[in-house]
Amino acid sequence: VQLQASGGGLVQAGGSLRLSCAVSGGTFNSYVMGWFRQAPGKEREFVAAIKWSGGSSTYAHAVKGRFTISKDTFEKTVYLQMNSLKLEDTASYYCAAGRGLITSTLSDPMKYTYWGQGTQVTVSS
């Protein structure tokens, strides 16, 4: 399984970006796809996750109402639409895939098996 993240960039506070994660190399019906982020000097933190089958999603409190995770099954791509961006959203964003996750473990990066490279999001004032 390979994950390829893209879409990061520099944006002013209040602006929007859409991240993409192209998925290849397997079948994903039993997978959960997640987005995590890591700022310099901080631990990697959960942002959002979506179940490939069914499409139910969950969000970190910090981004709920501003970010939306979605998937395109045909294109095998997971998206993270980020609106109303804040300075504190600045980080490297990573997509990840894991199988067999339950609701209580969706935010645990250790439960995800496959990771893409990070894409940098920088929010300026």
Q: 2-6 and 57-59: which strand pairing?
A: unpaired
Question: Mind listing the pLDDT tens digit of every residue in the chain (125 residues)?
Answer: 899 999 999 999 999 999 999 999 878 888 999 999 999 999 999 999 999 888 899 999 999 999 999 999 999 999 999 999 999 999 999 999 999 888 888 999 999 999 999 999 999 99
Q: What's the rounded Cα separation, in Å, for the pair 18 and 110?
A: 25
- Residue 66, class by beta-carbon neighbours within 10 Å (0-12 exposed, 13-18 middle, 19+ buried)? middle
